[in-house]
């Protein structure tokens, strides 16, 4: 009984996150803009091909592209979630984040530019 009670309070999947398969398809088809919020030196070391860099340390939602839906990414999902909150507070509804970050992308054999 107690485990069932606690399961009602367990966090479910983040509805603001894009799952890996959907993200991978959108990247391959060019149907989204990938915005990497890691710092410039992190971005320079490895990134998703075609992504752009808007570092979290000076993140401004008004600088997000508006011609396609945006997917935010960082190292492991924490900074992209924070950037997403800022984007949504600024009224952007066409933005999601990839919770796995570059680490998750790479572990699932996603292409990286070095």
Which domains does the chain carry?
16-107 (3.40.250.10)
- What pLDDT was estimated at residue 35? 98
- What pLDDT was estimated at residue 6? 45
- What pLDDT was estimated at residue 15? 81
H runs (alpha helix) in the chain: 2-7, 20-29, 40-45, 78-89, 101-107
- What pLDDT was estimated at residue 114? 86
- What pLDDT was estimated at residue 49? 96
Which residue positions in the chain have pLDDT lower than 70?
Answer: 1-13
């Amino acid at each position: 009984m107690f485990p069932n009670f606690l399961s009602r309070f367990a966090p479910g999947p983040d509805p603001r996150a894009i799952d890996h398969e959907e993200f991978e398809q959108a990247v391959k088809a060019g149907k989204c803009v990938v915005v990497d919020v890691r710092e410039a030196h992190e971005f320079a070391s490895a990134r998703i091909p075609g992504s752009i860099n808007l570092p979290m340390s000076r993140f401004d939602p008004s600088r997000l592209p508006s011609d396609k839906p945006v997917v935010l990414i960082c190292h492991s999902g924490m900074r992209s979630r924070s950037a997403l909150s800022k984007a949504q507070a600024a009224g952007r509804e066409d933005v999601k984040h990839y919770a796995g970050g570059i680490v998750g992308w790479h572990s699932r054999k996603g292409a990286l530019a070095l």
